Amino acid sequence: MSARILIVDDLAPNIHLLEVKLQAEYYDVVTARSGEEALEIAGKEKLDLILMDAMMPGMNGFEACEKLKQNPDTWHIPVIMVTALEETKDRIAGLEAGADDFITKPIDDFNLMARVRSLLRLKMVTDQLLSHTGHTSENSRPLLEKISQRAGKILLIEDQDLRADKISKPLSKTHKVIVEGEPVKGLKMAASGVDLIIVSLVSQSFDGLRVCASIRFNESTRDIPILIVADPEDDARLVRAYDIGINDSLMRPIEKQEMHARVNTLLRRKFYADSLRENFNENLEMVVSDPLTGLGNRRYFERSIKPFFSDLEDNDLPFSIMVFDIDHFKRVNDILGHDMGDQILKEIAARLATNMRAVDVVSRYGGEEFMIAMPKTNEADALMAADRVRSLIAGTPVFVDGQALRITTSAGVAQVQKGEQLRDVFKRADDALYKAKHGGRNQVVPASYKEAA
């Protein structure tokens, strides 16, 4: 599905002009003739971007934008303000109302599309993060408001001291600003961790576009927002900068209020994305890993072995599963305590993980039970591997709080057969484990698979 863009203007010719331009780029376009109608549409339909005319009768674009940004269901939709005159006060009013960017009439096609693509990329990333973390636009709002007061670490790449001072001194009142005149050193600083990079496109000693490209295509810096400083008449380089992937631009002569507004908007977006990403990584870690041992958990195991089933069905590549269980673990917990039991679990987990192949999938399946999947391995070879690991565990004491404990394990091994699902092969391996337990423990038993009559 194409990105859905709302055009808001009280004049039909203006709407038609923008509609033609955007549809030519295969965007899905919705239109509104007033601020009130825009709010109604935004509340009902899924939008990816809004182009808002600033001056309209009734509710003007600034008022409509402010209401959109106050609504928990629409605040995250990027807004580009369209103004008739390129006046600083209009730009500041739009940014203070919450607009993410602005363009002036008459509208330049390349400039328009560059800004549209830039904001749509950001919207797409935010949507992906929201979907991964389970956040909604509404319950994410308090998070954004909390982090909006954070100070940012800003890197300014500018080789002329006077120009650098005009940017760094006002921003230094609320943020930490590092000025670097040499791009190579600047790129190294950026890789060490900054929240925003401001790059001069008017420098005589280096090519600002090349610096932006290096930032954007370096893995360690590609997610850092870039704000460029340029001359308003340098349209070609400005459009090229947006194609490279910069996030925003500041035209000379620089107006302090506008600079603060643009910097703060970019920093808020960066902090918000970072918080969502951290939340996503934490949730992912909780979903697929066992917090005690660091191994994958049951969900991780089941997800990881799906390709093995496909290889078995499609390419006749065998794989086997083994179920390990710590012998007399309940007695260990009862006598030595659960803290000691946890230490034993972590030590056994480490031994299992370090003594299997890199391609094997090792997980804690629950309690004192561990599951291991061995791709491209038949039952006989898996049985040998399991017995080798069992012997290593039994032959080396586990040291816990200065005590040397002899811990043994039992295991059941089963080769997966075509047509089986995980629950089927798990039952056979678990039945084999039961036989190992009742046969004296500290041993490995293979599962017996009977052909269907």
Number of Cβ atoms within 10 Å of the Cβ of 210: 12
First and final C-alpha spacing in the chain:
51
DSSP string, 221-271: TTTS-EEEEE-TT-HHHHHHHHHHT--EEEESSPPHHHHHHHHHHHHHHHH
**The token pair that represents 23 in the structure block:** 């549809």
DSSP string, 56-103: -SSS-HHHHHHHHHHSTTTTTS-EEEEESS--HHHHHHHHHTT-SEEE
Positions annotated as catalytic residues are: 368
Could you tell me which residues come within 8 angstroms of residue 199 by beta carbon, excluding any fewer than 6 positions away? 157, 208, 211, 212, 215, 226, 227, 228, 229, 246
Burial class (CB in 10 A: 0-12, 13-18, 19+), 81: buried
Distance of CA 184 to the CA centre of its chain: 28
Cα(228)–Cα(68) distance, rounded to whole angstroms?
Answer: 27
